[in-house]
Amino acid sequence: MALAQNPYARYKEQAISTATPEKLIIMLFDGAIKFSGQARKAIEEKDIPKANEFLIRCQDIVSELMNSLNMDFEISRQIYSIYEYINYNFLQANIHKDVKYLDEADHYLKEMRATWIEAAKLAKNPKA
């Protein structure tokens, strides 16, 4: 992979390439939350092409989260269902250009992000 010329892009590439798996998952949540906010703004401004672009990015990120699960465990199947529901809300937001679906998706994204942060802390210090 060629390094980007932009210092910020180089920093992002470095952050991603050195991140732990737990941190990468949290970064995916951060990205989905960020793009969801941008989609909300685009919908409110009636910028349909931008809203579509940001919502597709949200769906791509949620798909990546779904693909990251180890389906050998029951908990993964339960998490997968939550991700499916989040993805459904992004799809509905894109079809209807309605932020009420973003409210629902954002709620679950933020809850899941907080859960992953706690899980990462426990993984680092199991005695905590």
pLDDT tens across 72-105, in order? 999 999 999 999 999 999 999 999 999 999 999 9
pTM confidence score: 0.84
CA–CA distance, 126 with 103 (Å, rounded to integer): 34
Structure tokens at 82: 């939550």
With a cut of 90, say whether residue 126 has pLDDT above it. Answer: no
Q: Tell me which residue of 63, 36, 65 sits closest to 51, measured CA to CA.
A: 36
In order of their start, the domains of the chain are 21-124 (1.20.120.340)
With a cut of 60, say whether residue 3 has pLDDT above it. Answer: no
pLDDT tens across 56-74, in order? 999 999 999 999 999 999 9
With a cut of 80, say whether residue 9 has pLDDT above it. Answer: no
Work out whether the CA dihedral 61, 13, 112, 107 comes out positive or negative: negative
pLDDT tens across 22-66, in order? 899 999 999 999 999 999 999 999 999 999 999 999 999 999 999
With a cut of 80, say whether residue 120 has pLDDT above it. Answer: yes
